[in-house]
Amino acid sequence: MAKLCVNVDHIATVREARKTVEPDPVAAAILSELAGAHGITIHLREDRRHIQERDLRIMREVVKTKLNLEMAATREIIDIALAVTPDQVTLVPEKRQEITTEGGLDVLSQEGYLKGVVREFKNANIPVSIFIDPDMEQLKSARKTEADCVEINTGKYSEAKTEMETDTEFNKVEAAVLFAFKSGFIVHAGHGLTYRNVKRIAALKEISELNIGHNIIARAVIVGIERAVREMLYIINQSRISP
C-alpha cells in the first residue's frame, strides 16, 4: 500500500494561536509514528506561522521513520535544511497571504534555479521532491531539475463539488501520476485529501507515499491522534485490497 506521511503543522497552528508551549507538534509526531505512520511532514514557512526551527531540530532527533521538510526554495530555508539534514525536502511555493499552499510549484519559470537547488541537496545526500500540479509541461520541466520525487497536487480533486468535476480532476491526477512514474520519478501525492476521498487516490499503484495533514488533525481533535492515524491507514490499506 502507499505509505502515509502525517503532516503535523496544524498542531503547531493551535499552539501559535496562543503563543504558548502546547500542543506540541513533536508529541503529535511521536504518537503518529506509534500509530503506524510511515513518516512525518512539516512545513517550515518563511513567516514561521506554525512550525518553528525548534520543532524541526527536535524532530530531526526523535522521528524514527522519515522526516519530510516542506520548504520554499529560498536561501534562508535552504541553509537551515542543509544544517538539519531531514530525510527528504519537498520544494513548495509560498505566499505570505495564503491560508495554505494554493498550488504546485511553477517549475517552468525557474527551472535553472531549481536545478541548482536540487544539486545542493543531492550533494548533501538529501533526496528532493517537488510539489507540482498535475500538469504535463510542469512535469517535463521538473524532470530536467533531476529531482528524485514529485508530489502530485490533489487539491483540485479534493475541492471538486460534483461527481463530474471529481472524475475530471481525478483523471488529471491519474495521468500525471502515470507520466511521472514512467519518467523515472518516485511519485507521492497530497493536498486536501480526506477520509472520504483518499481511497481513489491511494488505489493508484504508482503512488508510493501520501502526505495528509489537516483532515487527520481535525479528526484527532475529536478522537485522538493515534486513532485518527490508524483510521486513515486502514482506508489506505483497503484501497489496494478492494475496488
Using CA atoms, how far apart are residues 165 and 5, in angstroms rounded to an integer? Answer: 27
**From start to end of 120-235, where are the E strands?**
128-132, 149-153, 186-190, 207-212
51 grid coordinates? 512550525
**From start to end of the chain, where are the E strands?**
3-7, 39-43, 67-71, 88-91, 128-132, 149-153, 186-190, 207-212
Judge whether 51 and 68 are in contact, CB under 8 Å. no
Query: If we measure between CA atoms, which residue out of 206, 205, 189 comes closest to residue 197?
Result: 189
Query: If we measure between CA atoms, which residue out of 126, 48, 201, 127 comes closest to residue 215?
Result: 201
Active-site residue list: 43, 70, 191
Using CA atoms, how far apart are residues 154 and 189, in angstroms rounded to an integer? Answer: 7
